[in-house]
Structure 1
Amino acid sequence: MASNRNSLSAPLHLSAMSLSSSLGHGLQATLAALRASRSGLSDQRFETVELATWIGHAAGVDEVVLPESLRAFECRNNRLAWLALQQDGILEALAAARARHGASRIGVFLGTSTSGILETEQAFRRRDDAGKLPADFHYRETHNTYSIADFVRHALQLEGPAVVVSTACSSSAKVFGNAQRMIAAGFIDAAVVGGVDSLCLTTLHGFHSLQLLSADPCKPYDATRNGLSIGEAAAFILLERADVHAARDNDVLLLGVGESADAHHMSAPHPEGLGARIAMRAAMQQAGLQASDIDYINLHGTATPSNDAAEAQAIAAEFGMVTPCSSTKGATGHTLGAAGGTEAIISALCIKHGLIPGGLNITQLDPALQVNYQLANRDQPIRRVLSNSFGFGGTNCSLLLGQRGAR
């Protein structure tokens, strides 16, 4: 194996992608919503939840029927994953990759925060008089954190290493690092990365108990922001070495991954964004780039007062008021363990289609946040995007994506 293939700095090709969220199913639906500045948030109720909040509800999940061979994995999370795998020809692309590399040479690295916990929540409501859970409840294939990777391995007939990362909101960004290291070490030749998180009672009531839910559509970086809107999404990306395919001008590559763990607090970010700065610097360093090389930053931007303030401090320190940035969570909601993968795909669409999406739901930018926040869409060439995902406990990850030749 050539030495450049063993290097973590060797770019990886985003060969295929698929995404399902409240913006719609597939890349074209997502791009159309972004171009129209249309949010997927709604004030519809979910399950038994009566909270005053808006959610990013993916349409059609309850109507999905899993194939008979995958029926043991029946739960909302895996139905959402299967729905995303039906989009954008990714099943065909993954089948071709399996033929190209071999089933044992493709890894599966996915992020989630709650997995199929809704299935457990519903099962507890169906306990018998003795408190026993129903016989048709399958913890291993549903609620178990690993279940999403097990489901995808079976669905795609893959035999390589499979890992689920559950580091809160950074989960499906950090999996890019796992895949990158495994490919560089020569254990695998390609990887399916991304994340899946679906709506459930635990996250909605949990964030409500933390007083972090907004009663209105979330408004990142707004002066009156008061909390987030929970969303759901399934995002899948096929990563391969960049030399596997013939070069095309609009190819999107993974140029750098930066991770940090500042461990400042169980749920609050470091007030000066220390971990965020370390992660962004690490991504740029791996890519051999500087702050002036970045065309757009997809912010973590959850719309909580402390999170946006901390991230803005980190952005201001590294990029000043120059680099355009925005949060797309006003469109998708915060998809938690799927946020990193969702926003990596959105970032790739920005590169492919020359779009900087304006942040939604904002009435007045917070003047204390000294960044170049975009309120309206901008059409311009985009070569490199930094995508931020920062989770509870100070688990931070920044991904640097770029066009082929953008190093």
Structure 2
Amino acid sequence: MEKFVMKKRIKHPVLSGLATIALLVVVASVFWVIWSNIFKGIMLLVGGSTVAGLSPEVQGHFLKESVEGSFFWMVISTWVWFTLSLGNYGKNKKTTKQPITGLRYTGMALVTGFVAFAIFVSALGLWWEPFSWQVLFRPVDDTQALLAIKGWAAINFFTLAVILAQIPLTSLFGRYPFSKHGKDDWSVSFGTLFLGLFIALLVWIFFIVPSFFTLQIDGVTITKQPFGDWSTALAWCQLFIFFFLIPAEGGEGYPQKLVTTKQPWSGLVGLGIALAGAFTFLPILRNLLTPLAESVGLPADLAVASFTLTIINVMLAWHHHFDDYPNQTVMPSALKRILIQFAVVLTVGSILGILWIKYLHIWPFGANDLGLGHPMLGILGGQFVFMLPMVFMNTFFDKWPMAKSVKEK
């Protein structure tokens, strides 16, 4: 098999990063128009006269949740599974030339996401009415459509459970215990994947399900909503995600590296830091962002979730497309370069976080459907529409088209 290596078209990391972000904004805008229109069309085709007969408000909400589900399962979850859990296992099996490799791996990811969704829904739908295929795809009236909306929301946020449970196995624990005890890439990759899926399922059961379903026995409520409100839960989750990403996304293993590098203790220290950070900064950011949230009619905690997610996006962009500038060559001191990178991420992320909240309505992947009437994912989901092309471009496509495949000599 011929070997190819990637050569960046623009050498300086900052200039290359800025050009990449500009390209990604265009890609995300076009991607969402195409994706959401395709899956809206599919849902209307499958739903037939039953979905067409729903009241406009209920139909719009139903289509939004179902289209969101297609994106969450086929794009977000699969990136976590393929890149973080599996370490891009098998990506270069056929060729290393881009974009052929990226397109092949993307196709595999999309198919995997669809199959995983089908298995998940088929199993749940046996006994849970909101998860049955008939309710999810062909609700007979508004009442059943409202039940389907709840079902779609709970299923969609299995992706949040995937993020909360499976990413820390890589970012904090370095794929331990399999990275220590596994004998080959296959055992490490698939061991990490299935352990992560097991933990994600537990997180979904105890955190996501009670967030959307109130269960009762003999008229007595037996569940309560985590954090008391879904916006608060989302804000806490985004802060937790931000803190557990730091060691892997520019932090070079810090801050837990100050205590230990030995697993699983390093991972446990990092997990403790992430938990403490989420609980500490949630009330602080809520107080700071309440005036901004009120000015645009948002719940304060939803503004916190969006603000934090923007900073996460900047942190990922700086790591994936700005090459953690300044790097070790430019700045040998680990402390100085990490602090500079962190300062850049927080400053740029905070500015963009405020601008996103205020000007969400102008972006095609935010809240502007360009008059086409396709579903929009809004203040949080819209940011994932930008995030996923960004990480796909780096991990599946090896920075193509901002880098090109050159035959290895």
- The structure with the greater share of residues assigned to helix is 2
Given the two structures, how large is their TM-score scaled by the length of structure 2? 0.29
Given the two structures, how large is their TM-score scaled by the length of structure 1? 0.29
- The structure with the greater share of residues assigned to strand is 1
